[in-house]
Amino acid sequence: MHARAVAAATTVLLGAMVSSPTAEVLAAGGHERPLIVGHRGAAAYAPENTLASVDKAAALGFRWVENDVQRARDGELVVLHDDSLRRTTNVEQVFPGRAPWKVKDFTAAEISRLDAGSWFSPAYAGTRVPTLKQYLRRVEQRHEKLLLEVKNPELYPGVERQILKLLGNEGWLDRRHLTDRLIVQSFSADSVRTVHQLDPAVTTAFLGRPATADLRRFAGFADLINPSWTTLTPEYVSRVHAVPGPHGRPLRVFTWTVDDAPRARTVSGYGVDGIISDKPDVVRASLDAP
Ligand code: G3P
Ligand code: CA
How do residues 39-89 score in pLDDT, each as one tens digit? 999 999 999 999 999 999 999 999 999 999 999 999 999 999 999 999 999
Nearest CA to ligand 1 atom 4: 39
Span 205-251, pLDDT tens digits: 999 999 999 999 999 999 999 999 999 999 999 999 999 999 999 99
Q: What distance in Å separates the CA atoms of residue 259 and residue 252, rounded to the nearest whole number?
A: 20
- Look at residue 29 and tell me whether its pLDDT is greater than 60: no
Catalytic residue from among 2, 31, 39, 241: 39
Catalytic residue status for 81:
yes
Q: What distance in Å separates the CA atoms of residue 135 and residue 140, rounded to the nearest whole number?
A: 9
Catalytic residue status for 241:
no
Catalytic residue from among 31, 81, 196, 241: 81
Nearest CA to ligand 1 atom 10: 81
Q: Enter the pTM of the model.
A: 0.92
229 CB under 6 A from ligand 1?
no
| Residue 109 Cα to ligand 1 middle (Å) | 26
> What is the CATH code for 22-81+130-288?
3.20.20.190
Nearest Cα residue to 257 out of 147, 159, 179, 127: 147
Nearest CA to ligand 1 atom 3: 256
Q: Please give the C-alpha separations between residue 262 and each of 42, 135, 149, in angstroms, as whole numbers.
A: 19, 32, 27
